[in-house]
Amino acid sequence: MTRAVAPQALGYIGVRAKALDDWASYGAGLLGLQRVDQSRSTIAFRMDDHKQRVAVHADGGEGIGFFGWEVADATSLEALAAHLDNGGIAVAHGSRALADERHVTDLIVLSDPVGNRLEFFHGAQTTTEAFRPGRCISGFRTGPLGLGHVVLNVDRPDTLARLMAFYRDMLGFRLTDYYSEPFIARFLHVNPRHHSLAFIQTGKNAVHHVMMELFSFDDVGLALAEEGRLAVTLGRHTSDFITSFYTCTPSSFMVEYGWARARSTSSTGRLMSAKRARAYGGTTLAVSGG
């Protein structure tokens, strides 16, 4: 088997929604994203110099419809496609129209073992126009770290094993650390961010949350003052040291909104002995449908 060409970062996500109005106010007003494009059925947001990081599609659904993972260049994308093909994974080459819609140079499309749509791309389009947040914030920590991270609910141990084999062994994601209690969790990284992808065993398969990291803790605190969508109160994780809170999106998953001073990863993985996932805080007020 050819060697995996690991992605560099989570580049973009595509959100499914029943309607766009709630996302227009939630994305810009609470999260501070910049709304850049809207049609009758889609709305797009910026969070840095990339032309698009979050695309919301009013298709009547919920959750996340696709995850965009960035690779270095065309050579890396071709090598990844060949590696996946040799491993028996069905891969489709994205059309020119799809690449234009995603604001990238080229992409391939496939599904993971539980049916999540994955798009691996290179050449994200950027703009020299300054990022104009939807509310007053210092900005998002992105760049080579990517959009943030995504955590997926997993139903059973065998599903978790299949996902780990796919992402770690086939795609080259690297294990950062893992929990055995208070719940089973696996954290995977592709860059210096503690994790860009994680799995938690909860009894169902769905998106749990997406994390967005701010430059300033004050940005987090000011968003916390917004009422109506708070799902988990402010607290700090024992793994990535993110101080954050969670809100319910209009699409039945959560967004973790946080800040961290420290940044470190481990390539080997270590058993977390903490009896809880948070050092303090983090009281659940609502359970996301995702």
Residue 280 structure tokens: 């303090």
CATH number, residue 251: 3.10.180.10
User: Is the pLDDT assigned to residue 112 strictly greater than 50?
Assistant: yes
Supply the pLDDT for residue 288. Answer: 43
User: In this structure, is residue 1 part of a structural domain?
Assistant: no
Domain-ending residue, one of 93, 122, 151: 122
According to DSSP H, which parts of the chain are helical? 21-25, 74-86, 96-102, 157-164, 217-224
Domain housing 20: 9-122
Element of type H or E holding 233: strand 230-237
Q: What is the mean pLDDT of the chain?
A: 90
Residue 149 structure tokens: 């991270």
Same domain? For 152 and 261 the reply is yes
Same domain? For 267 and 208 the reply is yes
User: In this structure, is residue 130 part of a structural domain?
Assistant: no
User: In this structure, is residue 55 part of a structural domain?
Assistant: yes
Same domain? For 75 and 161 the reply is no
Same domain? For 77 and 185 the reply is no
Residue 200 structure tokens: 């938690």
In 3-state terms the chain splits into helix, strand, coil percentages (rounded to 5) of: 20, 35, 45
User: In this structure, is residue 147 part of a structural domain?
Assistant: yes
Same domain? For 159 and 272 the reply is yes
User: In this structure, is residue 205 part of a structural domain?
Assistant: yes
Same domain? For 163 and 256 the reply is yes
Supply the pLDDT for residue 261. Answer: 74
Same domain? For 107 and 226 the reply is no
Domain-ending residue, one of 72, 92, 122: 122
Same domain? For 100 and 148 the reply is no
Same domain? For 113 and 172 the reply is no
Q: List the strands of the sheet with 197-201, edge to edge.
A: 271-272, 174-179, 185-189, 197-201, 149-154, 206-213, 254-259, 243-248, 230-237, 278-281
Domain count, the chain: 2
For Cα atoms 43, 213, 15, give the angle at the middle one, nearest 5 degrees.
25
Domain-ending residue, one of 122, 153, 181: 122
Same domain? For 153 and 111 the reply is no
Same domain? For 109 and 153 the reply is no
**Cβ-based neighbours of 124, under 8 Å, separated by 6 or more:** 11, 12, 50, 51, 70, 103, 104, 105
Same domain? For 63 and 106 the reply is yes
DSSP of 62-95:
-SEEEEEEE-SSHHHHHHHHHHHHHTT---EEPP
User: In this structure, is residue 235 part of a structural domain?
Assistant: yes
User: In this structure, is residue 41 part of a structural domain?
Assistant: yes
- Could you tell me the pTM of the whole model? 0.92
pLDDT in tens, 210-256: 999 999 999 999 888 766 789 998 988 777 789 999 999 999 999 99
User: Is the pLDDT assigned to residue 289 strictly greater than 50?
Assistant: no
User: In this structure, is residue 90 part of a structural domain?
Assistant: yes
For residues 250-272, average pLDDT? 74
User: Of 55, 47, 72, 53, which Cα lies nearest the Cα of 190?
Assistant: 72
